[in-house]
A and B are shown apart, each in its own frame.
Chain A
Amino acid sequence: MSNGFTAVRAVADNVVGWARRRVTPEIPEADLDHRDPDFIRDRLPGTWLLASLYFRADVRGLHRIPADKPVLLVGNHSGGNVPPDTFVFTLAFCSYFGVERPFFQLAHNLVVSAPGLGWLRKFGTVAATPENARLALQAGRASALLVYPGGDYEVFRPSWERHVVDFGGRMGYVQLAREAGVPIVPVASVGGQETALFLDRGQWLARLLGVDKRLRLKSVPISLALPWGLNISDLAGHLPLPAKITVEVQDPIDVDGDDETVNKAVLASLQAGVDRLAVERRFPVIG
């Protein structure tokens, strides 16, 4: 039994080492110039079709986002490695404020550097580093940065906890907003965790395989998803079920307290928004 485990661990180490060697050089520098407004504009109709017909998306409260100064948008995150809430909100933001307003999204290094996902950088997706976050908030007179503090911890929560906002104790975003002198605008969404049946975060599996330290992957999630059936890790993504996605922007929160106080206020605002939207849903997926 012990020999078997050692062999599995050795194979995992080799795979992870290979992945790290391939991925690390691909992680983009803190260069926000990859964002291309004309590219975004050309992609909006296709995104609109997908959001309108497949996800029947509904985005509310965009008027609450200050139009004339930089803002940090903080959302609850759902949907595994294919999170529909991100692209639905990106579509709505770019349509409402125009593609000319600098708008960036932080994502895990693996997402930004994954083969075939280079186009995300043209949409303004940058690797989640403090340097990129600071630069994004300084990118223009009214730049906006979307972050999901819960990240891979929240996005792989079990589907039966789909209406629970949980950042896993992460609150570095408050410091970011404070240093940049920008308000935090919470963005609540529901529906994303119904695009597959998420069973377990698989943090124990991440530790077992050692990817928590080597690739900063705190989860190797386990889910039932199309087209794989049993889906371990979700690294190859999945075909999301056509769950109705509803997003609601909340009132801005000024960063005028300590990190914990502000974090509590943001979580409370998001949870209240999610609860409100959850009450409207009659059935999972259908909405």
Chain B
Amino acid sequence: MRVQRQLVVDTDRHTIWSLISDPKRYPDFMPNLERWETVTEGPAGVGSRYTVHWKIGAAPVGGVIELVEFDEARDLAWISITGVSLRGRFRLRDAGPGRTKVTFRLAYQSPGGLLGLLADRIASRQVGGTLSASLENLRELVEA
């Protein structure tokens, strides 16, 4: 299941990157984030690991994730090591002078066959809402 939300922010890519490249700031703009812990030491980069859980429905969903792409002011992506199979991505692209299109994408797949598919489908609405609210909060932070 792939869920994606995007919006255009009135600021340059580097300003947004300064925020999303510091995962310690994620609790500042991601709603429903029940757990966010740094697993590895040092600055964020490819190979950095975090424990992250979003409250989706009755349970915290997530696990340990690892950054697999850290392309300055362009892309930041991660995959899950434990928990639900998950890929996530922040994608920054120019949208005119001083403007940036920010895309927040989550692709996930629950185990458990048909019930997993059903759970993915039902959760997608709440996941989409979480992504939209994260982007809105991000915009407020960078445009403030």
- Determine if chain A interacts with chain B: yes
Residues of A within 8 A of B (CB): 41-46, 48-49, 51-53, 55-59, 62-63, 88, 91-92, 95-96, 98, 100
Q: Are B35 and A44 in contact (CB under 8 A)?
A: no
Task: List, in ascending order, chain B residues with CB within 8 A of A100's CB.
Answer: 82
Task: List, in ascending order, chain A residues with CB within 8 A of B35's CB.
Answer: 62-63, 96
Which of A42, A56, A95 has the most chain B CB within a 10 Å cutoff?
A: A95
Contact of B59 with A by CB under 8 A: yes
Residue of B nearest to A53 (CB): B122
Residue of A nearest to B61 (CB): A95
Instruction: Count A-B contacts at CB 8 Å.
Output: 76
Give me 7 A-to-B residue pairs in the complex whose CB atoms sit less than 8 angstroms apart, sorted by A's number: A44-B111, A58-B58, A92-B59, A95-B59, A96-B34, A98-B63, A98-B82
Q: If the complex has contacts A49-B122, A63-B35, are A92 and B58 also in contact, measured as CB distance less than 8 A?
A: yes
Across the A-B interface, the 9 shortest Cβ-Cβ residue pairs:
A52-B57, A57-B58, A51-B58, A45-B119, A46-B115, A45-B112, A52-B58, A45-B116, A95-B59
Contact of B27 with A by CB under 8 A: no
A240 → B minimal CB distance (Å):
15
Main DSSP-derived SS at the B contact region? mixed
Q: Are A46 and B112 in contact (CB under 8 A)?
A: yes
Complex Cα–Cα for A53 and B115 (A): 13
Task: List, in ascending order, chain A residues with CB within 8 A of B96's CB.
Answer: none
Q: If the complex has contacts A48-B119, A63-B35, are A95 and B111 also in contact, measured as CB distance less than 8 A?
A: no
Residue of A nearest to B53 (CB): A96
